[in-house]
Amino acid sequence: MAMLVTGAAGFIGSHLVDRLLDAGRRVVGVDDLSRGSEGNLAKAFLNPRFRFVRVNLADFRQVESRLPPAIAAVDEPCDAVWHLAANSDIAAGVADPRIDLRDTFMTTFNLLEIMPVLGCRRMLFASTSAVYGERAGPLTEDAGPLLPISQYGAMKLASEAAISAACEAQLERAWICRFPNVVGPRSTHGILFDLLEKLSRDPETLEVLGDGRQRKPYLHVFELLDAMLFIWSRAPEKRAVYNIGPEDGGVEVADIVQTVIESTGRPTRIRYAGGDRGWIGDVPRFLYSVDKLAGLGWRPMGDSANAIRRSVAELRAGRGAA
């Protein structure tokens, strides 16, 4: 059966497309190319089981005119929608909250509306630790009330709510995966992308957001995909909600900065912007509980520091650095 992947041209979505194709699936990739790029799908385009449709999922006229023919052309029923399209730039949503309403919430709402037409009743949703807001102690899936501190987190939480409600109507099953910070090749944003980008412009001085003491969990994108596929195949609940993450307490920004600078082998002056967080809506420190996922039987192979080291090397190689 075919899978529909939204956000297919983005960082995580493009790796998911590759993984599903490698598993022998037919895949329809959907993206408006606002943040992703067709270059991320170079391998997928060589596969006859892949089809790409450019659709702005926030625009229902485009959704209803382009998605049904794309699924019909595949000639196989649509097994599930893996919904990854969203605004991934939290700070942009602070400057203009309509970005998250449009690209994070309306994309979800419109997909839920079109899914009965597609004959598809199962959705896996890319959610985030940002739905928890700023809370002390390990974040568990049953924590409440959830009070996000960014529009990004708010619109992800609203999407989770809409998906849950749809499970009483057009959906049969939903898997809500709350990602940590994800790193790896093809990333389009995030701390490693940002630091390497700045170093390529100015190798002498590195400006770092916040005071360097922010501490968060990081997971490599390939481990994230393993976990998503595991949850998809094993979680028993009609509405399955799982945190995905490493089993450690995370890494401090100052340590990530050192790893990045050491990888270049050049002396670089570090200038911290100050303040306890990187931007409005940033949750500077959090501890993720992944006990529920471990109880289901999945554990990551690496820890946060490992994911950072591996991704720095991969991203530098991707930029043509030695």
Q: Which parts of this chain interact with ligand NAD (CB under 6 A)?
A: 7, 9-13, 31-36, 56-58, 84-86, 88, 103, 107, 126, 128, 179, 181-182, 188, 190
Nearest approach, Cβ of residue 56 and ligand NAD (Å):
5
Task: Work out the number of other CB atoms within 10 angstroms of the CB of residue 140.
Answer: 15
Residue closer to ligand NAD (CB basis): 268 or 289: 289
Residue closer to ligand NAD (CB basis): 108 or 166: 108
Give the C-alpha distances (Å, rounded to integers) separating 220 from 72, 124, 188.
35, 19, 14
Nearest approach, Cβ of residue 31 and ligand NAD (Å):
5
Nearest approach, Cβ of residue 157 and ligand NAD (Å):
12
d(CA 8, CA 31): 6
d(CA 161, CA 157): 6
Residue closer to ligand NAD (CB basis): 78 or 157: 157
Task: Work out the number of other CB atoms within 10 angstroms of the CB of residue 162.
Answer: 15
Q: Residue 288: left if φ>0, alpha if ψ -120 to 50, beta else—which one?
A: beta
Give the C-alpha distances (Å, rounded to integers) separating 1 from 78, 118, 304.
6, 13, 35
Residues 6+ apart with CB under 8 A from 285: 213, 214, 215, 216, 250
Give the C-alpha distances (Å, rounded to integers) separating 166 from 80, 114, 248.
14, 12, 34
Nearest approach, Cβ of residue 188 and ligand NAD (Å):
4
Helix, strand, or coil (residue 229): helix
Nearest approach, Cβ of residue 165 and ligand NAD (Å):
19
Residue closer to ligand NAD (CB basis): 247 or 268: 247
Q: Residue 14: left if φ>0, alpha if ψ -120 to 50, beta else—which one?
A: alpha
Residue closer to ligand NAD (CB basis): 188 or 264: 188
Nearest approach, Cβ of residue 203 and ligand NAD (Å):
26
The amino acid that residue 56 corresponds to is: N
Nearest approach, Cβ of residue 273 and ligand NAD (Å):
21
Residue closer to ligand NAD (CB basis): 3 or 203: 3
Residue closer to ligand NAD (CB basis): 232 or 268: 232
